[in-house]
């Protein structure tokens, strides 16, 4: 009997405490306490400051936030007029700290680059192996009708970064803690402005621990392009070691040309498979490419810092007309080639400079056909200097000249 009475009293006490907590959670005092608690907790994870104008909700299921803003080094990075957070109170006290969902309505995200890199990459504290922090998991992060402002986005060369992304729609999940960080993008879409491009869907996952970054099944779809990327980067904090695979079927060069103007105007939509393995200073690259301007199989060693590559390639049916934007330069060139090239966009119409040598090939151009073609070409920013010899119509011919673009 005493045991039953104790159970009943305990149950009554629990119900009373829950009732008191439910009542208290609706008071202005509680909402102000919860606002302060959220700001204080965020300070453990953010390299910046979180501010909240007003907070409504309750202790047990979630809150609605008005006037949310995150600042890094005194400058706004994320702001939203309205945000909602859904959770179970028991999950806030557990490890990992688990939040069911966060939704931002019409947020403005400001991406700014300086000599240290992008501000968004410094928004979370790096806790590392010597600073064991509490693990946090957010099952669903949703952005509806977002805007991204990009400041100083243009990199070296001819890359033209968009200044603004409109109508950002995102559904993702994130987890971070002492063991590492992971991002699962379930869907992402936006419209870029100046230059314009619509990304219809993007999905995939990225995970990082103390020594490696893994990219799994990252897919990008636009109106005219379809790209898949996966792979791994080991020792990314010190001396990166890459193992990346990328395929496109197709890749619209006119879409890419909106950001790299030197590639625009060809009308080409090549399909390719590319792999890159090794350190950044000696990256082993293999590519198989098919396009309306010909087919290419190549193996090269690339140096990312120098933006250079040298190697060998097999060409089939190379047509210079679309590459030179001149319909009068129809060609059909094939053979084995060697090359030593440097990526140098922005200096002129050609995005690469260097030397190419074709040995024992065949060619058809300007109505003539030739075999045993030996060609040397020097590519400059706006011209190609060519010296060639070949067998044609029972004799040997030599020629040289300059193609200007």
* Average confidence (pLDDT) over 288-310: 94
Yes or no: say if 86 and 101 are a contact pair by the CB < 8 Å rule.
yes
- Please report whether residue 3 resides in a domain: no
* Average confidence (pLDDT) over 41-50: 81
Same domain, 110 and 203: yes
CA angle at 235 for the pair 109 and 118, rounded to the nearest 5°: 20
Q: Which pLDDT does position 232 carry in this prediction?
A: 96
Same domain, 58 and 116: yes
- Please report whether residue 171 resides in a domain: yes
- Please report whether residue 103 resides in a domain: yes
Note the pTM of the prediction, 2 decimals: 0.78
pLDDT at 298 over 60: yes
Q: Which pLDDT does position 92 carry in this prediction?
A: 64
Q: Which pLDDT does position 30 carry in this prediction?
A: 67
Q: What is the pLDDT of residues 326-375, one digit of tens each?
A: 887 788 889 999 999 998 766 666 778 999 998 878 888 767 788 888 88
Identify which has the larger pLDDT, 376 or 393. Answer: 376
**Other CB atoms closer than 10 Å to residue 57's CB: what's the count?**
19
pLDDT at 139 over 80: yes
Same domain, 43 and 172: yes
- Please report whether residue 246 resides in a domain: yes
Q: Domain boundary at 210, 226, 244, which?
A: 210
Yes or no: say if 203 and 219 are a contact pair by the CB < 8 Å rule.
yes
Q: Which pLDDT does position 23 carry in this prediction?
A: 41
Pairing of the two strands 136-151 and 352-365 = unpaired
pLDDT at 155 over 90: no
Task: Tell me the C-alpha distance between 229 and 216, whole Å.
Answer: 7
**Other CB atoms closer than 10 Å to residue 362's CB: what's the count?**
16
Q: Which pLDDT does position 6 carry in this prediction?
A: 32
Task: Tell me the residue range of the domain where 177 lies.
Answer: 26-210
Identify which has the larger pLDDT, 214 or 90. Answer: 214
- Please report whether residue 384 resides in a domain: yes
- Please report whether residue 21 resides in a domain: no
- For the chain, the domain total comes to 2
Q: Which pLDDT does position 246 carry in this prediction?
A: 97
Q: Which pLDDT does position 401 carry in this prediction?
A: 82
Same domain, 203 and 295: no
- Please report whether residue 7 resides in a domain: no
Query: Confidence class of residue 133 from pLDDT cuts 50, 70 and 90?
Result: low
Same domain, 265 and 126: no
Same domain, 59 and 186: yes
Same domain, 344 and 306: yes
- Please report whether residue 9 resides in a domain: no
Same domain, 243 and 379: yes
């Amino acid at each position: 009997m005493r045991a039953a009475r104790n159970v009943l009293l305990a149950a009554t006490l629990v119900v009373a405490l829950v009732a008191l907590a439910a009542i208290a959670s609706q008071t202005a005092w509680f909402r102000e306490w919860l606002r302060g608690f959220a700001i204080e907790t965020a300070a453990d994870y953010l390299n910046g400051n979180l501010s909240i104008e007003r907070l409504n909700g309750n202790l047990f299921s979630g809150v609605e936030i008005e006037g949310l803003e995150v600042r890094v080094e005194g400058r706004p990075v994320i702001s939203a007029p309205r945000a909602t957070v859904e959770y179970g109170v028991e999950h806030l006290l557990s490890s990992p700290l688990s939040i069911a969902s966060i939704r931002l309505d019409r947020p403005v995200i400001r991406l700014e680059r300086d000599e240290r890199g992008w501000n968004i990459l410094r928004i979370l504290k790096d806790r590392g192996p010597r600073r064991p922090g509490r693990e946090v998991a957010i099952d669903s992060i949703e952005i509806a009708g977002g805007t991204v402002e990009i400041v100083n986005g243009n990199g070296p060369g001819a890359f033209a970064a968009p200044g603004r992304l409109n109508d950002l729609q995102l559904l993702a999940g994130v987890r971070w803690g002492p063991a590492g960080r992971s991002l699962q993008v379930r869907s992402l879409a936006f419209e870029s402005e100046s230059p314009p491009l619509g990304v219809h869907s993007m999905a995939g996952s990225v995970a990082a621990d103390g020594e490696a970054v893994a990219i799994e099944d990252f897919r990008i779809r636009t109106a005219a392009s379809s790209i898949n990327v996966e792979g791994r980067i080991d020792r990314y904090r010190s001396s990166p070691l890459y193992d990346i695979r990328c395929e496109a079927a197709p890749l619209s060069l006119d879409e890419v040309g909106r950001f790299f103007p030197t590639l625009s105007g060809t009308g080409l939509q090549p399909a390719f498979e590319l792999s890159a393995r090794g350190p950044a200073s000696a990256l082993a690259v293999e590519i198989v490419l098919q396009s309306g301007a010909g087919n290419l199989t190549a193996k090269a060693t690339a140096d990312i810092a120098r933006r250079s590559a040298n190697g060998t390639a097999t060409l089939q049916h190379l047509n210079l007309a679309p590459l030179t934007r001149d319909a009068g330069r129809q060609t059909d060139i094939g053979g084995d080639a060697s090359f030593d090239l440097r990526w140098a966009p922005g200096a002129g119409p050609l995005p690469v400079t260097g030397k190419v040598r074709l040995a024992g090939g065949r060619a058809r151009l300007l109505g003539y056909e030739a075999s045993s073609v030996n060609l040397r070409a020097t590519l400059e920013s706006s011209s190609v200097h060519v010296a060639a010899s070949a067998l044609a119509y029972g004799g040997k011919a030599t020629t040289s000249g300059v193609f200007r673009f």
